[in-house]
Structure 1
Amino acid sequence: MNFNEVLDQRRLLPLYTVKDLEECLAVGKCLVEGNLPIIEVAFRSDYAAEGIKALSSIDGLLVGAGTVKTTAQAQQAIESGAAFLVTPGLSAEVVEYAKEQNVPIVAGAVTPSEIMQANQLGLTCLKFFPADVYGGISALKALHGPFFESTFVPTGGVTLENYKEYLALNYVKAVGGSFILPKELLKAKDWQGLSSFIKGL
């Protein structure tokens, strides 16, 4: 399955920061077992590229890179095996590079001007981050009027308590965040529990 198919089917994008390669492989296997075969590896640690490489060895898991802010990071991510990119904001340079490499990209855009710029770059699926700071559900409802052709992936302040409210909006393609991989289950290394939790979302 490709990036769009997985997102359309499950509408969840787990965000993960790699700190330990052994743990990251266990997490990747839990996602496949939990029928959510996708992971966004944040470029927030020195292990990001290594983590992408390791996770890409898991059959059936679609691995992408998140928190990509520069073309150099995008290049490193793609060379390590990233099948998609997610950026916190809008960089025309990074978007054009991803398009040249034929790699899907979800770029961050929260204001009307940014959304217009993203649309002009050919992007219609956009990251809405940090969702809670920029008005959450009410902001998305307001933006949908003029930007009815765009879909959004809200992250930042999306939680277990409110993610279904976001998903009730049909122009929300998916929601993302680390809430999909609860810290307490990771800390306890409760892989069976994590697989079950993911399956239940």
Structure 2
Amino acid sequence: MHAELEKIAQIKVVPVVAIDNADDAAPLAKALVAGGLPCAEVTFRTDAALESMKRMAELGTIQVGAGTVSKVEQVKAAVDAGATFMVSPGFNPKVVDYCVTNGIPIAPGITNPTDIEMALDFDLEVLKFFPAEAFGGVNTLKALSGPYGNIKFIPTGGIGANNLLDYLSFPKVIACGGSWMVKGELIKANNFAEIERLTKEAVELANSL
């Protein structure tokens, strides 16, 4: 497993964030680090995504990833901005091929055996199961993973404090992605103290297993 993915496996929770104002990026990163989660998947869902990645990466204290990656051009731009891992909602062979060829860790989204077998062709070891809850949650993930013993997963989508442990208790899950501790309204309100508090709760919950 790539070193960047090993880091994710150690912290068990990946905050998935959408930032509308890049000025919020550094304070958000500091709140996540203070709460015990030195990692952020900054999604390409806003115009401020790249600048936010850059400002977070410049701090040097947080692992920055790019989420909602759907084009090779986004991968290149994210790497230039300081992102060290890629996450995509689906399986785009062009994006995956570029990342694998250039040694960039990527966890592409999968929902079925065909997706997983495409990933195996690229020798990937960690995949994103997305949207997790909408596609049947832990039970579906267990059924999917049965034939593929070496594959690990980062489930994302509909995961929160109420079901985090359901996923993390499954040995093939290395971490879960979620946004419950970094909700958009909290970021917009600059309520970084609450984000830090929720982050600490998430860390304590994840480590309670």
Bin for the TM-score computed over the shorter chain:
over 0.9
Task: Provide TM-score, normalisation by structure 2.
Answer: 0.90
Q: For residue 35 of structure 1, what is the amino acid of its counterpart? A: G
Structure 1 residue runs of 5 or longer lacking an equivalent are: none
Q: For each residue in 1:92-137, what CA deviation from the matched residue of structure 2 results, as whole angstroms up to 9, or x when unmatched?
A: 2111211233211001111101101101111120000111121111
Report whether the alignment pairs 1:101 with 2:108: no
Q: For each residue in 1:15-57, what CA deviation from the matched residue of structure 2 results, as whole angstroms up to 9, or x when unmatched?
A: 1111112212111011111121110010011111111111111
> 2:126 aligns to what?
125
Q: For residue 42 of structure 1, what is the amino acid of its counterpart? A: T
Question: Displacement, 1:157?
Answer: 1.2
**Distance (whole Å) between structure 2 residues aligned to residue 199 and residue 37 of structure 1:** 11
Question: Displacement, 1:187?
Answer: 4.5
> 1:38 aligns to what?
39
Q: For residue 20 of structure 1, what is the amino acid of its counterpart? A: N
Q: For residue 116 of structure 1, what is the amino acid of its counterpart? A: E
Q: For residue 76 of structure 2, what is the amino acid of its counterpart? A: Q
**Distance (whole Å) between structure 2 residues aligned to residue 159 and residue 74 of structure 1:** 28
**Distance (whole Å) between structure 2 residues aligned to residue 69 and residue 31 of structure 1:** 26
Q: For residue 161 of structure 1, what is the amino acid of its counterpart? A: N
Task: Provide TM-score, normalisation by structure 1.
Answer: 0.93
SS in 1 for 2:124: coil
> 1:92 aligns to what?
93
Summarize the alignment of residues 167-182 of structure 1 with structure 2, pairs less than 5 Å apart.
167-182=168-183
SS in 2 for 1:133: helix
The number of residue pairs the alignment matches comes to 200
Q: For residue 124 of structure 1, what is the amino acid of its counterpart? A: E
> 2:156 aligns to what?
155
Q: For residue 163 of structure 2, what is the amino acid of its counterpart? A: N
Question: Displacement, 1:6?
Answer: 2.2
